[in-house]
Amino acid sequence: MPDIRLDGITKRFGDFTAVKDLNVTFEENTVTCLLGPSGCGKTTLMRMIAGLETPTEGRVRFGERDVTALAPRQRNIGMVFQYPVMYPTLTVEENILLPLRHDRTVDQSERRRRLAEVLEVLQMEDMAGATIGQLDAGSRQRVAVGRAVARYCDIILFDEPTTNVEVNAKLQLIRAFKEVARRLRQTIIYVTHDQTEAMTLADHIALMRDGEIVQHAPPPELYRQCRTEFGGWFIGNPGMNFYRTELHADRTNVRLPFLAREIPVPEGARGDLTVGIRPEHVRLHDSDHGGLAAAEVISRSITIGGQYLVKLAVDDQIIRAKVPSSVGRRLGGRVYLECPDWAVTVFSGGVRLETGTAAAEQSVSSR
């Protein structure tokens, strides 16, 4: 299956530039998520790959083949939309086979083989005879996936297919995607605003903002070494705590009052800086075992895996900490904050300063 190469892609709608001069390759046989908030350009980008929009400038290539001028049907792509179009009176099996019916290159036994394969990958064997009208939204989406997959397209595009699906069905669907990518090795591009979905599903995430890709990396790297302040906020559940400060001339340290200490900043840093710390890296203690900052617990709530999300006030600074259930349950009133150096990221002008990166890498590899 080919990769997808975007070469200087720009898309303008009147005065508005939706996608700005992108140069990027999405690898073959992998799942790439286009991730970002509403209006970041992710859907426009996907529509250009599909051929539903024509780029104002630049070329789209599938491998060596320039497809910029080709209509969607000439590109050998499959698409699954947020609201899949399906035939409610036909069965699951009939819906999946529909696009193959007029394809002369696929004979009857090959059709049966693909159907069986797709039903197995999507874990829908026992629903093959059910009509679409009998299924819940999540199962319907899985049928839509199956229909796109069964055609053996080079590339499959998904547009927020899990947006209208209830939580448990969503999880089933995410698992189905993983199986499709792993077993059928098709190049998948997936558009979403849900970072959890992107983290669990993607081989690579292209994080987008204002028509640009701010970082293109495997999910763990995007989480551990976010290149921008925006990434530190967007990736993470919730995102980083930020503290804005200023580095005075001739100093190499900045003081973090909410940790009651100073941290060294990378060489060359000057002026306005932002310090970012992930909530899961803030440690909370019942007592001060030496120079820790005191904080008041404002509120606590339970989040993923029974962890506690704790909102704290240190003077007028609000800090969020995500702590294990065993710690969160007994907290209240006054606590003491601690955070290891490796978990502190320093940004200048919205971009991560390099020393922080090296420190984070070291800490990760040493574990």
Binding stretches for other proteins (CB under 8 A): 37-39, 136, 163-164, 166-168, 175, 178, 193-196, 199-200, 219-220, 223, 233-239, 278-281, 299-307, 309, 322, 324-325, 329
Cα-flanking dihedrals φ and ψ of residue 257, to 5°?
A: -60, -30
Helix (H, G, I), strand (E, B) or coil at 310: strand
Sign of CA dihedral 155, 159, 162, 165: negative
Q: Greatest CA separation found in the chain? A: 77
Bridge-based pairing state of the strands 334-338 and 344-348: unpaired
Give the whole-angstrom CA distance, residue 169 versus residue 192.
Answer: 17
Sign of CA dihedral 275, 280, 286, 289: negative
SS3 content of the chain, % helix, strand, coil (to 5): 35, 35, 35
Q: What is the token pair recorded at 219?
A: 């999910």
Closest CB to other proteins among residues 29, 163: 163
Q: How many residues does the chain have?
A: 367
Q: How far is the CB of 259 from other proteins (least distance, A)?
A: 17
3-state per-residue secondary structure call for 72-89: HHHCCEEEECCCCCCCCC
Place of tokens 């390099």: 354
∠ Cα 264 319 286 (to 5°): 90
Tokens of 354: 């390099």
Closer CB to other proteins, residue 61 or residue 300? 300
Q: How far is the CB of 43 from other proteins (least distance, A)?
A: 12
Tell me how far, at minimum, the Cβ of 302 lies from other proteins, in Å.
Answer: 4
DSSP summary character for residue 23: E
Tokens for 136?
């819940």
Question: Is the CB of 291 or the CB of 324 nearer to other proteins?
Answer: 324
Other CB atoms within 10 A of residue 205 CB: 29
- CB atoms inside a 10 Å sphere around CB 234: 23
Q: Which residues pair with 24 in a beta bridge?
A: 6
